[in-house]
A = this chain, B = another copy of it.
């Protein structure tokens, strides 16, 4: 970037909703996405929910001409679903998996199996990511997990971006703009929201990316939000002696430009950024907002604390269940031994119900032990995050 007065960077971000066998008209949509990307010639393309490696390979072949560099991030059982296509060389990549990501037994929510993560490509520090989905806004059991993810993401960005010129983040954060997780992420990293900063905006009202006009969205989810919600973001930050300005932000509006169907159930977000070198390194503007930041961290820490209490309760009850199942098994073993020793021979031994009960107890024991281990991990991670937040709060308060 050195030597050039201004770099104009066009970024495309989309949650592709490309789940094999489940997403509607997946192949057609992936073809459409590929065609559009080839025509439009962006500089950087950040895609999420490309769950099938075959789809990635097809896109890679199609886009080899205009995006010679690409990377697919593998993690979890299904994969991270993240991939990046770039006009600039990708010299290095790094994958950071969040320590908490839902529950393996919530099969219908599936987040656990995806190994949600953030993929980083260097030298232009661009991050593609997806956080845990929100399934019920009123009673959001995953809020503490999403906050841990937002916190880990913020910490990760702070630690990896120190020597970067520019940080770009695109993805489905699964949070509304005013949610505590977004405020935490933005406050703690200093990332700016392309939608809020854009000099020119074109697209869905309020920059929404999940809108009723899109034929693939779940209309019942959007009932409380008739205009739609904004959960896909492009965020950016200039670190060293650079400035970044957002010239233009666009979203698709329920269908792909000039096409009959949308790219996905999410709208695509497209930003045009101007990156310019400036003489003076930008001072850390974080200090001025310390007080507001401390409030956000306190709020987030309280939510994590709520999650910690719930996790402790679940750990306790699964542990108790395991102990009960073990006791039942021991009792049965004693009864069986008693019968073998010749006690109570006046009645026939109920073999079938004995076996059924033993297997049931064994099943409960295995399941409850697994749950107990899982919730123990959850408690550790929530507790660790609470600690880290406390340390940051103390540091914020001690600043002059």
Contacts and interface: CB of A to CB of B under 8 A. Distances in A.
A79 B159 contact: no
A158 B163 CA distance: 11
A298 interface: no
A31 interface: no
A373 interface: yes
A377 B112 CA distance: 12
Nearest to A374: B77
Interface stretch (A90-98, A190-198, A336-344): A90-98
Nearest to A75: B380
Interface in A360-400: 363, 373, 376-377, 380-381, 383-384, 387-388, 391-392, 395
Contacts of A391: 71, 90-93
A99 interface: yes
A367 to B, nearest CB: 9
Interface stretch (A214-222, A244-252, A271-279, A349-357): A349-357
A310 to B, nearest CB: 17
A122 interface: yes
Given A160-B160, A355-B355, A395 B92 contact: yes
Given A160-B160, A162-B164, A384 B74 contact: yes
Contacts of A73: 384
A94 B159 contact: yes
Contacts of A163: 162-163
Contact of A377 (B90, B93, B115): B115
Contacts of A359: 355, 359
A201 interface: no
Nearest to A385: B74
A135 interface: no
A156 B122 CA distance: 13
A155 interface: yes
13 contacts: A71-B391, A74-B381, A92-B158, A92-B395, A94-B156, A115-B377, A120-B159, A159-B159, A162-B162, A163-B163, A351-B352, A352-B355, A363-B363
Given A75-B384, A92-B395, A95-B99, 6 more contacts: A74-B380, A79-B380, A92-B155, A92-B158, A115-B377, A355-B356
